Amino acid sequence: MLSFSEQLPIVFNSLNVGFLQTLKLFLVTLAGSIPLGLIISFGSMSRFKPISAFSKTLVWVVRGTPLMIQLLIVYYFPGLVLHNPIWGGDESGRFFAAAVAFILNYACYFSEIYRGGIQGVPLGQQEAGQVLGLSKTQIFFKITLLQMIKRIVPPMSNEIITLVKDTSLARIIALQEIIWAGQSFMKGSQGISGQIWPLFFTGVYYLVFSGILTVLFNKVEKKLDYFKT
Amino acid sequence: MALLEVKNICKSFGKTEVLKGIDFSIEKGEALSIIGSSGSGKTTLLRCLNFLETSDSGTITVDGEILFDGAENIKLSDDKIRKNRLNFGLVFQNFNLFPQYTVLKNLTLAPTLLKKGDSATIEAKAKEIIKKVGLEDKVDFYPCQLSGGQQQRVAIARALMLSPKILCFDEPTSALDPELTGEVLRVIRELKDENTTMIIVTHEMNFAKNVSDKVIFMADGVIEEMGPPEQIFDNPQSKRLQEFLYSSLNK
Amino acid sequence: MKMKKIIAVLMAVLMIAACFAGCGKTSNNDNATVTDMQYVKDKGVLVVGITDFKPMDYQDADGNWIGFDADLAKEFAKYIGVDIKFVEIDWDNKVMELDGKTIDCVWNGMTLRDEVKNSMACSVPYCTNAQVIVVPADKAEQYKTPEACKDLQFAVEAGSAGKDEAEANGFKYTEVKDQATALQEVASGTCDAAIIDLLMAGAMIGEGTGYKNLTYTVSLNSESYGVGFRKGSDLVEQFNTFFAEKVANGDVQKIAETYGVQEALVK
C-alpha cells in the first residue's frame, strides 16, 4: 500500500493525462461545431423547403435524444450494422467518434442560438444595408454578424461551459478522459486501489477550467459593451 | 424629361391590395411630399421605389432608364436589384444606423465596400458631408451616444454618401421627440436649397407645405389628389383630403 | 441569394457524403466469406478488450499491460501469429464492442454466465472463481453464513455474477457500476456488504491494500472464467487447442504463479 504522498504524483499524472484528453475533446468540439452550427442555422432559415426540413429534423433528432445514446450510435453503429468498424478500437478511434458525436450535438444546439441571434437583429439593419447597395454576404459579415455575436455571447458561454462537463459522457465509449482516470483508482490502477478521492478531485479541474472560461467570456462581453443593439 | 417616372405601380400582400395603380413623376431638383393617413400605402410606395419590395406591375423609370417593368414578368437578379437601389437613397423612420460602427464608419462603410474610391477620398467626402449636417464634432461617436435627432442627421449623411439621384425620406421625424424634429427638418430644407431631388413621406404638414414643389395625398392605395402645395393645403378639392387636413390640424 | 445557393450545395454534399459513408461501406468485409480468424490475421493484430482488473489485466509502472490474462493473451497472439493490442473498454458495452469489431475478444476474468454465453462464443473455462461476501473486518464474526447475512444491504456490480448470487439468496441489494464501487460502498458504510469475485477480493482487500478494514467471509457458488469471442468465431477452437497445449507444457502454470492465481487454474 502506497502512502498518500507516494500516491499523489501517480494520481496527478494520471488525472493530467485524462484532463488533456478532456481538453482536446473540448477544443475539437468547439472548432467543429461553431462553424457547422452556422451552416445548420442557415439551413433551418433557408426558404428552400428540403434544406430547411432536413436541418430542422436534424436539430430535432439531435436535441431530442441523449448525447450518451448518440455517442453509442456513432461509435458502434458502423461496426454493428454496417459491418465496417470505421473507428477502430484504439484510443484515437474512440476520440474521433466522440468528437464527431459532440460536434454534431453541439452544432445543433449552437445553430438554434445563432438562429435566435440572427433573427434578433432588427430587420431594419438588413434593409439599411440593402438600400446602400450592399450584397447579402456583405450585409451578413459587415453588419449582422457582430450584432449577432453580441446577442449570442451569453447563451453561448452557458452552452460552452456545459460542454466542459458534458465531455465526461465520452467515457461511455471508453474514451479515457479525466473522470475515467479518476475512477480507475477506485478499482485499482498503478498500485493504487480503493481510493475515491482522485475521482472527487477531478471536480477541481472542471471548476478551475470553467472558471477560466467564465472570466474569458466576461471579457468578451465587456469588449462588446461599447455599442448597444 | 422627368427624372423619375412611375406608372401604374400595384402591390398586394396576400389578398390585401396596398397599392392600386400609382402614377406620378418628378423633375430633377424637385421635392415631392407624400401625405396621407397611416395604412394609405405611402411607405409601401417608397419601399417599392427602393426595391425593398417588388411591385406586382407597372414601370419605374429613372433618367430614361427603365429599372422595372412589371409587364416583362422577369424576376430581377440580385445584382440588378442592387444596381437599381443605388439610384435612390432612403432615410428610415428608425434611422437604422449600424450600432457597432462610429459615425464616420457608418458613412464610409458602403462606399468602401462598393469600391467607390480610395479610403482617403471616401473619408474626406464623409467629413465634408458630416459637416453639412452639423455633426463634425461627433465623427468618432457611436450611435448610442447620440440623440435621436443627431442619429437621423447621421442617417441622412449616410444616404448622401452614395450621391443618389433621388433621396427618399420615410417619415424622418416620426420617431423623434417634438423638440428634436427641427434640426432634422432644417437639414432636409438645406438639401432642398441645394436642389436635391427628394421624396418625403411625412406627417409634418407645415413642413410639407413649405419645402415641397409638389404634394401627393394618398388614400387607400391610390393617389387621391396631387398638386402644388398651395392647392393641396389651401384649396383641397377632394372630400377625403379636406377631412384629412381638418383632422391633422386638430391633433 | 448567392449565400443561400452556397449553403444549399454544402448541405447537398453533406447528405450525399452521409449516404456514401453509409451505403458504400456495407458491402465491404462481408462476414459470410471471411472467417473471424482470417479477419484478425488480415488485420495482423488481435485487439483484446479489457478493464483494469488486478491480477488479470493491469498496467506496470511503464504503462504496459500485464497480469495473468494479459500475459496469456500475448502468448495466444504469438500462437496465431499476430500482434496484440489491449484496449480498455466500458464493461457494460463488451458485446457491442465485440460485434462492432472494435475489439476481437474479451479477456478479463470474465465469468461464464448465461448472459455471456448467449451473446458471445466462449472458450473452455480456464480459471475457477467464487463469489464472496465482503464485510467490514470488525463485523466478520457475525456473518459467517449466507443466512446470517439476510438482513444486510448489499452492493453488487450491475450485471455481474455477484448480482445473480444476491438474487438467488434473496438478499437486498443495490446495483453499482463495478466491483470497486461495491467495495467503496461497504468501506464508506453506505452498504453493509458486497459480493465480488474471490480473485478480486484476494487482490484488493485485507492487510496491505486500500481496504484493510474489509474482509470476506462466505463463499457463494463457484464459477468459471472464460475468454469471449464474437459469436460464431473460429478463434474459440484456436484458443481451446492453444490452452490445452500450454497447460500440458507448463507455461500456463508458470504465468499463473507469477500472479498468484495458480489455485484457481483449470487444468
Note whether B110 contacts A146, CB cutoff 8 Å.
Answer: no
Contact A138 B143 (CB under 8 A): no
Q: How confident is the model at residue C28 (pLDDT cuts 50, 70, 90)?
A: very low
Q: Which residues of A touch C28 (CB under 8 A)?
A: 83-84
Structural domains in chain B?
A: 4-249 (3.40.50.300)
pLDDT of C12: 54
Angle at CA A187, nearest 5°, toward C216 and C72? Answer: 90
Q: Do C93 and A140 touch (CB under 8 A)?
A: no
Q: Do A90 and C99 touch (CB under 8 A)?
A: no
C-alpha grid cell, residue C33? 466469406
Query: How confident is the model at residue A33, as a pLDDT?
Result: 97
C184 CB neighbours in chain A (<8 A) are: 186, 194, 196
Cα angle: B172, vertex B178, B181; to 5 degrees? 40
Instruction: Provide the shortest C-alpha distance from residue C25 to chain A (in Å).
Output: 6
C-alpha cell at B83: 444596381
Q: Are B109 and A132 a contacting pair at CB < 8 A? A: yes
Mean predicted confidence (pLDDT) in A147-175: 93
By Cβ distance, the residue of C28, C96, C203 closest to A80 is C96
Q: What CA–CA distances, in Å, run from B98 to A121, A124, B95, B158?
A: 11, 10, 9, 11
What does the pLDDT read at residue C209? 73
> Which one of A130, A132, A141, A229 makes the best mutation probe of the B interface by having the most chain B beta carbons within 10 Å?
A132
Question: Tens digit of pLDDT for each residue in C99-123?
Answer: 989 999 999 989 888 889 999 999 9
User: Do you find a cis peptide bond into C55, omega within 30 degrees of 0?
Assistant: yes
Kindly state whether B89 is in contact with chain A, defined as any CB-CB distance less than 8 angstroms.
yes
pLDDT at position B251 is: 61
pLDDT, residue C25, reads 42
Q: A residues 90-129 near B, CB within 8 Å?
A: 122, 124-125, 127-129
Is residue A146 within 8 angstroms of chain B, CB to CB?
Answer: yes
Of B105, B100, B142, nearest to B122 (Cα)? B105
pLDDT at C24 over 50: no
Nearest Cβ partner for A131 among B83, B89, B94: B89
A-chain CB neighbours of B98 within 8 Å are 125, 128, 143
pTM of whole model > 0.80?
no
| Rounded Cα–Cα distance for residues B65 and B53 (Å) | 19
CATH of region C128-223, choose from 2.60.40.10, 3.90.580.10, 1.20.1560.10, 3.40.190.10: 3.40.190.10
Q: How close A54 gets to chain C, by Cα (Å)? A: 9
- On the question of pLDDT at C20 being above 50, the answer is no
Sign of the CA dihedral running C97, C99, C100, C102: positive
State whether B113 and A143 contact (CB < 8 Å): no
User: What dihedral do alpha carbons B98, B99, B105, B107 form, nearest 10°?
Assistant: 40
Spell out which residues of chain A touch residue C49, defining contact as CB-CB under 8 Å: 89
Please check the confidence at residue A4 and state whether its pLDDT lies above 50.
yes
Q: Which residues of B46-69 are buried (b: 16+ CB within 10 A; e: fewer)?
A: bbbbbbbbebebbbbbbeeeebbb
Res A108 pLDDT > 70: yes
pLDDT band, very low/low/confident/very high, at C37 (cuts 50, 70, 90) = very high
* ipTM computed for the complex: 0.90
Residue A206 sits in which domain range? 4-226
Q: Same topology for domains C36-127+225-264 and C128-223, yes or no?
A: yes
For chain C, domain boundaries: 36-127+225-264, 128-223
CATH 3.40.190.10 fits C36-127+225-264, yes or no: yes
How many structural domains does chain A have?
1
Give residue C266's pLDDT: 79
Residue of chain B whose alpha carbon sits nearest to that of A149? B100
Q: Check residue A78 and give its pLDDT.
A: 86
Radius of gyration of chain B (CA): 18
Mean of the per-residue pLDDT values for chain A?
Answer: 91
Residue type, C27: S
Element spanning A69, H or E: helix A67-80
What is the CA angle B45-B46-B49, rounded to 5? 90
> For C49-77, how does the pLDDT look when each residue is reduced to its tens digit (9 = 90+)?
998 887 889 888 788 999 999 999 999 99
Fill in the amino acid letter for B130.
I
Question: In this complex, how many residue pairs, one in chain A and one in chain C, have their CB atoms less than 8 Å apart?
Answer: 140
B114 contacts chain A (CB < 8 A): yes
Q: Which three cell numbers stand for residue C125?
A: 473455462
- Dist. CA C11–CA C4, nearest whole Å: 10
Average pLDDT over residues A149-172: 94
Give the pLDDT band (50/70/90) at residue C29. Answer: very low
Cβ–Cβ gap A89/C2 under 8 Å: no
| Residue-level pLDDT at A208 | 97
Q: Which one of C25, C87, C90 has the shortest CB-CB distance to A84?
A: C25
Joined together, the cell numbers standing for residue C212 give: 484493510
* Residue C48, min C-alpha distance to chain A (Å): 9
Whole-number Å distance between alpha carbons of C224 and C252: 16
Contact C210 A1 (CB under 8 A): yes
Contact between A79 and C99 using a beta-carbon 8 Å cutoff: yes
* Residues of chain A neighbouring C88 (CB-CB closer than 8 A): 174, 176
For residue A223, give how far its alpha carbon lies from the nearest alpha carbon of chain B (Å): 11
For range C11-36, the mean pLDDT: 54
Torsion angle (degrees, nearest 10) of CA A15, A20, A25, A30? 120
Name subunits touching B (3+ CB pairs < 8 A).
A
Task: Provide, rounded to the nearest whole percent, the portion of chain C with pLDDT above 70.
Answer: 87
Contacts of A137 in chain B (CB under 8 A): none
pLDDT (0 to 100) of residue C11: 55
**Could you tell me which chain A residue has the CA closest to the CA of C59?**
A190
**Chain C neighbours, 3+ Cβ pairs < 8 A:** A
Half-sphere exposure of A118 (CA within 13 A, CB side): 20
CATH number at residue A193: 1.10.3720.10
Q: Taking a C-beta distance cutoff of 8 angstroms, is the pair B49, B168 a contact?
A: yes
Segment C211-215 shows an average pLDDT of 86
The predicted pLDDT at position C218 comes to 85
- Specify the higher pLDDT residue, B135 or C24: B135
Please indicate whether, in this complex, the C-beta atoms of A132 and B83 are within 8 angstroms of each other: no
Contact flag B144-A228 (C-beta cutoff 8 Å):
yes
- Angstrom CA distances, C147 to A27, B107, C133, C217, stand at 55, 89, 12, 12
For C136, the grid coordinates are 467490514
Q: Output the pLDDT for position C26.
A: 42
Q: What is the mean pLDDT of residues C140-160?
A: 88
Render each residue's pLDDT in chain B as its tens digit; 251 residues. Answer: 789 999 999 999 989 999 999 999 999 999 999 999 888 899 999 999 999 998 999 999 999 888 998 888 678 888 889 999 999 999 999 999 999 999 999 999 999 999 998 999 999 999 999 999 999 999 999 999 999 999 999 999 999 999 999 999 999 998 888 888 999 999 999 999 999 999 999 988 988 998 999 999 999 999 999 999 999 999 999 999 999 998 887 76
- Count of other CB atoms within 10 angstroms of residue A13: 12
Determine, for residues B96 and A128 on separate chains, whether the beta-carbon distance falls below 8 Å.
yes
